[in-house]
Amino acid sequence: MSTSPESLQPLDVSLSPQERFEEYLQTRGLRQTSQRKFLIDAVFDEHEHFDADELIDRLPRRGEKNYVSSATVYRTLREFVDAGLLKSFQLDGRTVYELDYGYPQHDHLYCTKCKQLFEFQSDLLVEMRDKVASEMGFRVTGHRMIIQGICRECTKGRRKKRKQDLV
């Protein structure tokens, strides 16, 4: 699953993802392992939306250096979400992950044909969200919007000329 070339730029943060996760583990009485360290680097090396299977496909295979079992990947992804490093959401029946730590609030356009996610930020959308929440006496703690449709490239591909259009 890919993101658009206009992906959001990371924000300046006081701790690296490794340091932030180390802090999380310490508060839970857990230890940092080489596999967890390797997975943080693998996840934060790219700003991509992914599911667990896509991450597993990018990792070394059994018998290779830095091999991480599927069970460890699934468990560690849940820990990354709990630690505030990743966000997860459901898309087409799959759990999709995206970087959260060090990235600004944003929303998505999702092409149902090519399965590409496009990130965007909208001040107007945030203003409207806050106005509606205020009118309803609601305190906003966050939101997620995924607008589904068909992207420009897929729309171009659908406009095949029919024989009767050529007359």
Token pair of 39 as six digits: 């997975």
One-letter identity of residue 125 = L
pLDDT score at 84: 94
Quote the pLDDT of residue 14: 87
Closest CA to 82 of 38, 24, 30: 24
User: Residue 1's pLDDT is what?
Assistant: 52
Residue 161's pLDDT is what? 55
For 6, 27, 47, 71, 74, the CA distances from 96, given in Å and listed in that order, are: 19, 26, 13, 17, 12
pLDDT at 12: 81
Q: Which residues are annotated as a binding site for Fe cation?
A: 107, 143
Task: Look at residue 7 in the predicted model and tell me its pLDDT.
Answer: 58
Q: Which of left, alpha, beta for 115 (phi over 0: left; psi -120 to 50: alpha)?
A: left
pLDDT at 25: 96
Q: State the pLDDT at residue 2.
A: 45
Residue-level pLDDT at 164? 56
Domains of the chain listed by start with CATH number: 1-6+14-102 (1.10.10.10), 104-158 (3.30.1490.190)
Write out the chain's pLDDT in tens, 167 residues.
Answer: 544 445 577 778 889 999 999 999 999 999 999 999 999 999 998 888 999 999 999 999 999 999 999 999 999 999 999 999 999 999 999 999 999 998 888 999 999 999 999 999 999 999 999 999 999 999 998 888 999 999 999 998 765 555 555 55
Binding positions for Zn(2+) are: 111, 114, 151, 154
- First CA to last CA across the chain, in angstroms? 40
Angle of CA points 135, 138, 142, to nearest 5° = 120
Q: Which residues are annotated as a binding site?
A: 107, 111, 114, 143, 151, 154
**Of the candidates 119, 117, 1, 27, the residue with the CA atom closest to the CA atom of residue 79:** 27
* pLDDT for the residue numbered 160: 57
